[in-house]
């Protein structure tokens, strides 16, 4: 005989726990000092960076990804959803893991295909998401058969991705950094939309001016010629 009372009690306890966790995560007195105590990396935006949105947005989110990482694909979708909801406040930058042997190669690599497609389209939005739909070079290259990139340009950008990974000491993917600070556990990428307003409230006008000054001289992704 099924004990429905016991099942109901367990479901109720799970729901209460979820509510408590949400309240904990939304508590600014907890989140702000915890977030600000996380290690900080260089979040400067490069020329021809893989960026979605306004580089002068007050919230700069960098996600470190592996091109064949399913959790990265899920994270990218979550971050694009966040951008669509808060496009005036947020920009999303994607940095890919790339091995040294894949920097100085004449063969196709995921990063080379993505950079070439982005260069041809003059934007990053939508293209990285297309890669993560299949994570297959043959399928992706058929979508952008005319996309090309000079070897020198690819090597320069691929080396930037590689150097940034080493300097930032990225240990796993996906790793998210918000305004330079590593986004901490137990918070999840899905929690970012719940915390946007808290993060905005903690940015002073001086910080916004500094960010704008720092990034105004950078191009917002590949430009059409």
* Whether residue 116 has pLDDT greater than 90: yes
E strand or H helix at 52: strand 51-52
How many residues comprise the chain? 225
SS3 192: helix
**Model confidence pLDDT, tens digit, residues 207-216:** 443 343 343 3
* Whether residue 203 has pLDDT greater than 50: yes
Contacts of 119 (CB under 8 A, 6+ apart): 48, 147, 149, 153, 222
**Model confidence pLDDT, tens digit, residues 52-96:** 999 999 999 999 999 999 999 999 999 999 999 999 999 999 999
Please report, for residues 66, 154, 165, 177, the alpha-carbon distance to residue 174 in angstroms, rounded to integers and kept in the order given: 7, 23, 12, 10
Please give the average per-residue pLDDT across 143-166, as a whole number: 94
């Amino acid at each position: 005989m099924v004990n429905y009372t016991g099942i109901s009690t367990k479901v109720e306890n799970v729901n209460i726990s979820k509510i408590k966790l949400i309240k904990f995560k939304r508590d600014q007195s907890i989140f702000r000092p915890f977030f600000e105590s996380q290690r900080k990396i260089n979040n400067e935006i490069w020329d021809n960076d893989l960026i979605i949105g306004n580089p002068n947005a007050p919230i700069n989110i960098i996600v470190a990804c592996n091109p064949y990482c399913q959790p990265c694909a899920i994270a990218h979708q979550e971050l694009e959803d966040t951008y669509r909801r808060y496009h005036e406040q947020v920009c999303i930058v994607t940095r890919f893991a790339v091995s040294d042997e894949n920097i100085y190669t004449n063969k196709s690599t995921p990063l080379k295909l993505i950079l070439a497609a982005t260069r041809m389209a003059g934007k990053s939005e939508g293209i990285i998401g297309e890669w993560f739909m299949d994570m297959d070079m043959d399928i992706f290259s058929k979508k952008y058969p005319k996309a090309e990139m000079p070897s020198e340009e690819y090597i320069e950008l691929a080396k930037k991705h590689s150097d940034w990974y080493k300097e930032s000491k990225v240990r796993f993917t996906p790793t998210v950094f918000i305004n330079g600070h590593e986004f901490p556990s137990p918070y999840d990428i899905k929690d970012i939309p719940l915390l946007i307003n808290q993060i905005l409230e903690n940015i002073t006008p001086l910080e916004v001016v500094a960010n704008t000054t720092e990034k105004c001289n950078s191009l917002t992704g590949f430009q059409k010629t």
